[in-house]
Amino acid sequence: EYSMIPRANQVRNIRDSVKGKISGRSSEIQRLIGRSLRSVVDLIELGERTIWIDCDVIQADGGTRTSAIIGSFIALFDALNYLKAEGQIIDIPIKDYVGAISAGIVDGEMLLDLNFEEDSRAQVDLNMVMTEKGEIIEIQGTAEGKPFSKGNLQELIKLAETGIKQIIEEEKNILGEIC
């Protein structure tokens, strides 16, 4: 479940639970998180289980969906580690690390991990989710104002890949070797 607490961004928002429905944005991000996690889990080895991961954004400053994916991956590992310690699973069924990051073009310059101000001015905004093996789980790229070239797309993908590799190294520092 993904949601932003009321004062996570500059203007107070109303919780989805108060509105009685999940916003389209929250629903889209929840599905993205689920797809990202399922892609690196051996679902057969996991068995007939549902694991709920809560993603509450405390402070939104751009990159909330990519940060939520990273945090969810770490929380998933923690949950699976608990199941293993309790003897409910033999091995942790994670097949690969997953990382996510935003990249974009702001004022003609390629940037990694855009903050809110950069994101709001970006001519191109791209989010990428990828495994340690370099397999792409998802790419979301959008032009603002005018289209961008395939060359720019390839450069943004390379930039994002560099950032994701750094993120996965940090995940390894936190979690250790898991797969």
Domain count, the chain: 1
The predicted structure's pLDDT at residue 167: 98
The predicted structure's pLDDT at residue 12: 79
The predicted structure's pLDDT at residue 75: 97
Please give the model's pTM, rounded to 2 decimal places: 0.89
The CATH number given to whatever domain includes residue 132 is 3.30.230.70
The predicted structure's pLDDT at residue 29: 83
Q: Map the chain to HEC letters.
A: CEEECCCCCCCCCCCHHHHCCCCHHHHHHHHHHHHHHHCCECHHHHCCCCCCCCEEECCCCCCHHHHHHHHHHHHHHHHHHHHHHCCCCCCCCECCCEEEEEEEEECCEEEECCCHHHHHHCCEEEEEEEECCCCEEEEEEEECCCCCCHHHHHHHHHHHHHHHHHHHHHHHHHHCCCC
Q: Which domain holds residue 75?
A: 2-175
Q: Which residues of the chain have pLDDT under 70?
A: 6-7, 179
